[in-house]
């Protein structure tokens, strides 16, 4: 008498799970590297926005802002635009914006 049950054996399921695990482990470093690149590009974009705000402040007032708070007070930057990557802050030195 022939067994008519169809399905996967335990060995086949273990092999499939191992293949999925290997693919996942190979992709994690690439995902982390991509996230780092995205974060860095976002910080550079914040610097460019702040540089544009500094230029606009300079054109309106004839001098450089004393700090980030001057740009926020003028409405040229928002409070959210003064941070990058959670723990890095935007600062102005020498009339240029930098992320520290």
Nearest CA-CA partner of 46 in 87, 84, 12, 73: 84
Question: Looking at the chain, how many residues does it have?
Answer: 100
Residue spans of the domains in the chain: they are 33-99
CA distance 95 to 55: 9
- Digit-by-digit pLDDT tens for the chain (100 residues) are 566 677 788 999 999 999 999 999 999 999 999 988 998 898 899 999 999 999 999 999 999 998 999 999 999 999 988 888 778 899 999 889 988 8
- Specify the pLDDT at position 55: 95
- Specify the pLDDT at position 96: 92
Residue 83, strand partner residues: 89
End-to-end CA distance of the chain: 75
CA 3 from centre of chain: 56
């Amino acid at each position: 008498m022939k067994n008519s049950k169809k399905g996967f054996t335990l060995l086949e399921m273990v092999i499939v799970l191992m293949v999925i695990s290997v693919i996942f482990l190979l992709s994690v470093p690439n995902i982390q590297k991509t996230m780092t690149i995205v974060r860095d590009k976002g910080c550079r974009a914040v610097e460019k926005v702040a540089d544009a705000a500094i230029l606009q402040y300079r054109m309106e007032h004839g001098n450089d802002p004393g700090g980030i708070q001057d740009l926020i007070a003028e409405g040229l930057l928002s409070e959210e635009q003064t941070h990058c990557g959670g723990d890095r802050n935007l600062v102005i030195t020498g009339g240029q914006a930098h992320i520290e």
